[in-house]
Chains A and B, each alone.
Chain A
């Protein structure tokens, strides 16, 4: 079920009303109330997820059960060694499933090509279950945190299943930590008007980014990337810039809708994007882009490897590992690995010179406009991100190279072919302006500082109307495939 679909528009109010009026209010005296409400979350989430393919439900139930069981076993283990064994069993099991569904065919094909072997009968050709990388990582974080003693293993299997399958963030994150999300399913949720309103605002902005920006960018991007050999340099560059906004609008839009929807149910999810295109260097960009995945890799891979408190050679190794794994997490294709390597190369000079945490505050903090230096830094970082997204969007490394070569010629200085896309340009401009003005806020459409109610309502209605008038055709979210 897509967030930007009619089905979800019907599903969400029904679930919301049942959640608060049936499972919270009318059975509030029952000691089973919390468990029933959690069970309802699981059922609703399974309906939401099973809408794609009911067979995926078996997999997520299996992952949830194994991770819950491993938590219990880790908690009961008599020695640290035994606990570690249970943790590793769960990691291998989860990563094994992920590898089987996501990477098996890729490795077999590459291996077969390398040694000129036929792949007949070797490939599984299975459908990749939607969001498998997201919920697998969420499940892994639980058993690792239980092992590390950061969280007590829960005996409440219903709450645990709700934690893994909570529908707003199930298929494309944010990848929640058990330490943040699981305790919220273990205590009674209270409806809070301000939180619910904030949730609606966040959903509205997420829909704008997805439907108006990303879906319309997709039309242009798909046209140009499928015919890139015949396009001018300026058109190719424009398509790359549009893809930069498409992937941001698509993914951060999904995250906003997920976080906003969760707020309606009294659940607080972590922030996943923090105006990444206003970053002044690549290190800052990575602190603001897909925060839940970046911090996951930092906490569970980078720091256990020694992080940056080791020799320079090991820092280089750790940086490459983290970015290559991050690239590979996105999919079984050399382009994703190349994208990871590209960012590792950009990141290395910063970490080796100790400048990777130079910009931890918001750009132009306390000012309306950035300085010229900041503008230059943001443009350079944006340009580097654009190059990265070309690698990411291309189907092969060869296509990446041809595409970039296509940009770098005299036709770069011609007017790009973009007839019919002026409205999209205006909407991207609206996105940039609103995100710039609101960059200090905890979420972009936080209009609580506007005291006049009619002004806030005017903004909501205008945005709703833009959604309705300029919305592109509903397409899948890009990150579902990861």
Chain B
């Protein structure tokens, strides 16, 4: 028995040493987070237009077409909390910044309620990997009830990062996605109850709070604050409900009552009806990202 227990202990120690070695290696592999952090630390003074948001922006707006000084700081699956913290951290030291463009999709303000309507937790739905990558590489921590250390470690070891290069964005922070994904039409219908449940309301209130704080920061530093709802495919729009639209438009009006905010809803825009511009039903691909970037540039006179 003693021999067996010793074997378990020694094996466990060896495993932790191995994990440490891999972590050391991983910390030296560039990825979207580390690159965007590096860019903001070293080039924030050059930024004129800052794009923030999640995959609806990171993959859907090509900053190269939006004029000099545009940088895409958006990151897939992020919760608006990170946008607010990033803005708070950098805005005072961005002398050339003229506008901040934030993407607000149809779902994110009540994302968890949408996917887990039975959940009794008020925690925002966040991808574990993304959450810990923000902490490790952008030094912004979000405290919640999950297993922090396990997640922190696993945050590194994304299978993609382990095998190859995980720096998928270009020098302006844009992550190009070509073609369509396997489940590109997959979208579940939303029960109307989702919009009215307690946690949905709490999450919308939390989302509004962060948005308002971003509007306040922009207003304070005399920067235009632009919010856009990106376009979606018809197969997604059939499931869009008026209650959901009322919520996101209500959030804008709520913020507008206190701070200046410019907003355009492109969700059902007629220009974006072709299948070929979508990666999946709610995300543009690289063709769509080029078209959308030019449209945003024109609409807001950038």
Contacts and interface: CB of A to CB of B under 8 A. Distances in A.
Given A423-B159, A423-B163, A469-B162, A6 B147 contact: yes
A419 B4 contact: no
B62 to A, nearest CB: 20
Contacts of A419: 179, 181-182
A465 B22 contact: yes
B4 A231 contact: no
Interface string B169-209: 00000000001111101100000000000000000000000
Interface residues of A, number: 28
Given A6-B147, A465-B18, A230 B1 contact: no
Going nearest first, the 5 A-B pairs with the smallest beta carbon separation are A417-B182, A423-B159, A223-B183, A469-B157, A196-B4
A463 B181 CA distance: 30
A469 B157 CA distance: 5
A230 B3 contact: no
B212 to A, nearest CB: 34
Given A468-B154, A469-B157, A460 B11 contact: yes
- The B interface is mostly helix, strand or loop, or mixed, namely helix
Nearest to B5: A17
Interface residues of B, number: 26
18 contacts: A191-B1, A191-B4, A197-B7, A220-B182, A223-B186, A227-B183, A230-B185, A231-B182, A417-B182, A419-B182, A423-B163, A461-B15, A461-B18, A464-B15, A464-B18, A468-B19, A468-B153, A468-B154
B92 interface: no
Nearest to A418: B182
A383 interface: no
B14 interface: yes
B8 to A, nearest CB: 8
A20 interface: yes
Interface of A: 6, 20, 191, 193, 196-197, 200, 220, 223-224, 226-227, 230-231, 235, 417-420, 423, 457, 460-461, 464-465, 468-470
Contacts of A423: 159-160, 163
A461 B15 CA distance: 6
Interface string B1-41: 10110011001001100110010000000000000000000
Contacts of A418: 182
A191 B4 CA distance: 10
Given A191-B4, A226-B183, A423-B160, 18 more contacts: A6-B147, A20-B1, A197-B7, A223-B183, A223-B186, A224-B182, A224-B183, A226-B186, A235-B182, A419-B182, A460-B11, A461-B11, A461-B14, A464-B15, A464-B18, A465-B15, A468-B154, A469-B22
Contacts of B15: 461, 464-465
A420 B168 CA distance: 13
A326 B11 CA distance: 42
Nearest to B180: A417
A465 B15 CA distance: 8
A223 B154 CA distance: 24
